[in-house]
Amino acid sequence: MDETYIWYKHKWPKEARKKLDYPKEPLYAMLDRAAEQHGNNPYTLFEGASKTYAQIRDHADRIANFLVTRGIKKDTRVALFLPNVPHFPPIFFGALKAGATVVTCNPMYKAGELNFQLKDSGAKVVFVLDHPTFTPTCYEAIKGTEVNTVVVCSVKSFLPGAKAKLGSALGKIPKSPSYEPGITFFYDDIIKKYEPKPPKIPHDPEEVALILYTGGTTGTPKGAALKHSNLVSNVLQVYEWVNLSPEDIKDAPSKIQPEREVFIGALPWYHSYGLTLTMLMCTHLAGKLVCIPDPRAGKPPMTALLKDLQDYKGTIFCCVPALYAGVVNHPNVKNYDLRSIKVCGSGAAPLPPQLAKQFEAVTGAVLFEGYGLTETSPVTHLNPTTRKDRKFGSIGLPISDTICKIVDIETGKKELPVGQTGEIAICGPQVMKGYWNKPKETEDVFRTIDGKRFFLTGDIGHMDEEGFTIISDRKKEMINVGGLKAYPREIEDTLYEHPKIAMAAVVGIPRSKEDMGNEYVKAFVVLKKGEKATPEEILEWAKEKLAGYKRPKEVEIVETLPLSQVGKVLRRELRMKELQKKGMV
């Protein structure tokens, strides 16, 4: 790496190497290694029961064997429509062992949203939770796709024996009302029937391991194709970066420790942030993985999360600011002992400095902000993980083997000087191969600068004199809903399906002046001539069409929408008027 890069000269962590050596191996090798070296260690923790690394590998090998019998081979796509349940790791790694490419899908999606991903990826198999909502949604979504196999996963087999029996007797274990004959298989039957003998397939680390859907830089859903090497690299890059100081945490080792850490799985694993920073990092370190399907569960909300943090003595807790705020503001937080938590990363939305300080006061942990994108596996920047060197208001410094440039917004080819605002461009081993089956869109977001391949992030910002990057605006028009990305075009396209709506425009509105980065969706709609409708009617209709975070919280019926000379809706004008109305500008 070039020692002249500005970020090396000031607060770059002394313990972190600038350049790393990466093993040329498939992603599932980290599970095999953990099982071989620490097979008896607990891996998944769920509702008081655990499975060891050896048991999870055994399940993964059986899943791989089953998939081969269903015609799965190299480059075939296998979709996971699952929350954070213990089935997720063995299915994820088992699909990779079969040679498949994994497609992770948001379990809160409606049938139409899931149908798009299954069609676009060409998935042949879907794993779904046995559930009165998720399973029927999956069956509806596979219509018109290439899916010929649905594997239904019950939580019963991962519960303690007494709880499983009692839950079955009382009818408290989630269950689908019906199952489609001919295409339906059950996880438990597969584990019983198939031997733990995965196929012997040579794997190239440069092959695509995972397709994660994102709005990219335009808002049109696209699959980011991440290679085995992208994800392996990012896990090692993040582990290299995280170093603790005894000034911050008394008696803490300098590094997070193999075998000893307890990772709290509150972030969804279908998302790159939760997948890499929690599930994959835990596997790499042979730690314990606490499976939390719904971090907001309990009365009041998030009570179950606080109990898991305390009971399992969680040490690593990566989240979005909205969840940190939920912990801090929980009315009973003082009744829980959260002092086991050591390291907390924050991303997906701006981290208010006051919130960080409040969370640290409650837990004693170190909380630091970072940055990344689905297209970068996801992490590209992290703040130093010490209170002394981190810089609130910034996304931090580029991590090992990562180059960040600020380039002109018009062409993305001209590098701008320190302090000048432009588009953030990234080069590193964690950057995706490209968008799935979209060569034009892939070409649009890459530039060759100084002989290196840079990804244009779509985020606008500048670099300060110490190499810290500060984001000031977004080229993308995505809406940040508690760390989840909602894209206006997708929501507008759905609203246009309403029989009474002639035009629709969607913008993100900050929830408060103090938390401008956390937004909700507001829709402006023009009704067809002669039609009448209320905002409440449209909001109710949207419940059946859109996942919760994408649904408008407010609908305003207007006579017209502001348009440019070429007829494009000026979303920025709508948002600015709302900000002015609320006194936020």
Half-sphere exposure of 490 (CA within 13 A, CB side): 28
In a domain, 130, yes or no: yes
Q: Quick check: is 537 in a domain?
A: yes
Residue 106's nearest CA partner among 398, 372, 485, 472 is 485
The pLDDT value recorded for residue 1 is 47
Q: Is residue 92 part of a domain?
A: yes
The residue among 238 and 352 whose pLDDT is bigger is 238
Q: Domain boundary at 185, 204, 223, which?
A: 204
> What mean pLDDT value characterizes the chain?
92
Percent of the chain having pLDDT more than 90?
75
**CA pair distance 118, 146, nearest whole angstrom:** 8
- Residue 484 sits in a domain of what CATH number? 3.30.300.30
**pLDDT score of 162 more than 70:** no
Structure tokens at 431: 């950057």
Coil/strand/helix, residue 374: helix
- 251 in the Ramachandran plot: left (φ > 0), alpha (ψ -120 to 50) or beta? left
The full 3-state SS of 256-294, as one line of letters, equals CCCCCCEEEECCCCCCHHHHHHHHHHHHHHCCEEEECCC
The yes-or-no verdict on residue 250 having pLDDT over 80 is no
Prediction pTM value: 0.86
Is the residue at 106 inside a domain?
yes
Is the distance from CB of 369 to CB of 211 less than 8 angstroms?
no
368, exposed or middle or buried, with CB in 10 Å at 0-12, 13-18, 19+? buried
- Cβ neighbours, 10 Å, residue 451: 5
Tokens representing 229 are 């090497």
Alpha helices of 449-534 — where are they, by DSSP H? 488-495
Cα 353 from Cα 579, distance rounded (Å): 23
Residue 153's SS3 state is strand
pLDDT above 70: residue 189: yes
Predicted pLDDT at 566: 47
Q: What is the pLDDT of residues 201-218, one digit of tens each?
A: 888 999 999 999 986 545
Which residue from 103, 239, 126, 130 is spatially nearest to 183, judged by alpha carbons?
Answer: 126
pLDDT of residue 476: 65
Which residues, 6+ apart, have CB-to-CB distance to 406 below 8 Å?
A: 415, 416, 420, 421, 422, 423, 424, 425, 461, 462, 463, 469
Instruction: State the average pLDDT over residues 233-248.
Output: 92
Domain count, the chain: 2
The DSSP output letter for 417 is P
Tell me whether residue 153 is in a domain: yes
Residue 517 forms part of a structural domain: yes
Q: Each residue of 10-30: pLDDT tens digit?
A: 999 989 999 999 999 999 999
Asked if 292 and 266 touch (Cβ cutoff 8 Å), the reply is yes
Write the DSSP string, 62-82. HHHHHHHHTT--TT-EEEEE-
Residues 6 or more apart whose Cβ sits within 8 Å of residue 293: 83, 84, 85
| Contacts of residue 441, Cβ cutoff 8 Å, sequence gap at least 6 | 216, 218, 220, 222, 435
Name, of 236-240, 248-252, 505-509, the range with top average pLDDT. 236-240
Angle between helical axes of 111-121 and 134-141 (0-180°, round to 10): 50
How would residue 428 be classed by pLDDT, with cut points 50, 70 and 90? very high
> How does residue 484 score in pLDDT terms, banded at 50, 70 and 90?
confident
Report if residue 260 sits inside a domain.
no
pLDDT at residue number 520: 94
pLDDT at 169: 58
Among 568, 569, 575, smallest CA distance to 507 is for 575
SS3 of 571, please? helix
Rounded CA-CA distance 363/338 in Å is 5
If one counts every other C-beta atom within 10 angstroms of the C-beta of residue 41, the result is 18
Q: Give the CATH number, domain containing residue 158.
A: 3.40.50.980
Residue with the bigger pLDDT between 504 and 38: it is: 38
| pLDDT tens profile 89-127 | 999 999 999 999 999 999 999 999 999 999 999 999 999
Give the Cα separation of 297 and 266 in Å (integer): 11
Per-residue confidence band for 168, with pLDDT thresholds at 50, 70 and 90: low
Give SS3 for 356.
helix
Percent of the chain with pLDDT over 70: 95
Q: Which domain holds residue 109?
A: 52-204
Contacts of residue 221, Cβ cutoff 8 Å, sequence gap at least 6? 116, 117, 120, 213, 214, 215, 487, 490
Q: Is the pLDDT of residue 190 over 70?
A: yes
564 pLDDT more than 80: no
Determine phi and psi for 367, rounding to 5 degrees: -115, 125
User: Which carries the bigger pLDDT value, residue 217 or residue 331?
Assistant: 331
Place of tokens 């003595």: 313
Domain endpoint, select from 153, 171, 204: 204
- Boundary residue ending a domain (173, 204, 235): 204
Pairing of strands 422-427, 403-407: antiparallel
CA distances from 103 to 80, 122, 123, 493, 527 (A): 6, 10, 8, 23, 37
* Cβ 369 vs Cβ 396: under 8 Å: yes
Residues 367-392: pLDDT tens digits? 999 999 999 999 999 999 999 999 99
**Residue 57 covered by a domain:** yes
Mean pLDDT of 407-417: 93
* Average pLDDT estimate for 455-467: 94
Q: What is the mean pLDDT of residues 263-286?
A: 96
CA 408 to chain centre: 29
CA 536 to chain centroid, in Å, comes to 31
Predicted pLDDT of residue 353: 84
